[in-house]
Structure formats: structure tokens, C-alpha cells
Amino acid sequence: MTTPNIAVIRTAYEGFATRDVGKILSAMHDDVEWVHPDGMHKYGLGGTKIGHDGIKEFLARVPSVLGGMVLDPAEFIEQNDRVIVLGTRQVIARSGTSTTLPFLHSWTMREGKATRMEDIFDTVAFHAAIES
């Protein structure tokens, strides 16, 4: 069963898959918090970005660090205003090496859009994938 909140989050993942920033942003409130582990500061990808401009800044930085990335969201769990997504991501280093790593995305929703997205993953494994 797909609820309205899960449908919105699926739209964001469709945007990631097609690199359609407009589609990604359509799922987000204007003042969304976009949170990545502080352990990713080494690559300019850690911390919290605010709003659509913060997300665009983050997404623009990714190609300077990675050769590519493909998200595969596998499970969507909704409780109240929270949608949890479990999945894997294929991380492609600039060298061309590919590694598959698990992720957990925690989305907080309000009025049918995301107000917060927190990306939770093993930063040590991600560093190894980037540097491979």
C-alpha cells in the first residue's frame, strides 16, 4: 500500500534516478533540512543544508567527489509524520570502481512535503568506496 507521504518520497527517488532536480525539489518544503553525516565533511558533503538552494548546492558538489551513484530504495515504512526508507546505493568512484552500500533515509513530512531528510550510512565504508 502506498500512502500519500510515501508517494511523495517515491517521486523524490524517481528524480534521483533521472537526475531531475526539479522532481526532487517538488517533494521538499522550501525550508527543508537536508542532513548528511558530519563524517562526510572531508568531501564537502557533510552537515545540514537548508532549503532548495542548499539541496542544489549539495547535488552540484556530488559529481566532484563521485563518478556516479544509483539509489535503490527497497522498503518504505511510515509512522505518523515519518517515512523511513531502507535501501542500497551503488557508489561509483571517480576511478570507475563500484561498491554497493546500505542506507537508511529518515524523512519527516508536513502537509505532503518533506521538511527534513537525514541520510544515515557507514561513512567509513563510503570513504573507502570514494577512494577506491
pLDDT, position 83: 98
pLDDT tens digits along 13-51: 999 999 999 999 999 999 999 999 999 999 999 999 999
pLDDT of residue 12: 97
In this structure, the dihedral spanned by the alpha carbons of residues 120, 106, 56 and 6, taken in order and rounded to 10 degrees, is 140
Q: What domain count does the chain have?
A: 1
The Cα angle at residue 24 between residues 2 and 45, in degrees rounded to 5 = 120
Which positions ≥6 away from 84 have C-beta within 8 Å?
Answer: 76, 77, 78, 104, 105, 106, 107
Give the pLDDT of residue 35: 98
What backbone torsions phi and psi does residue 51 show, to the nearest 5 degrees? Answer: 75, 180
Query: Residue 101: which CATH number?
Result: 3.10.450.50
Please compute Rg for the chain using Cα positions. Answer: 14
- CA 6 vs CA 1, 2, 72: distances in Å: 9, 6, 15
Domain range for 61 is 4-131
pLDDT confidence tier of residue 69, bands split at 50, 70 and 90: very high
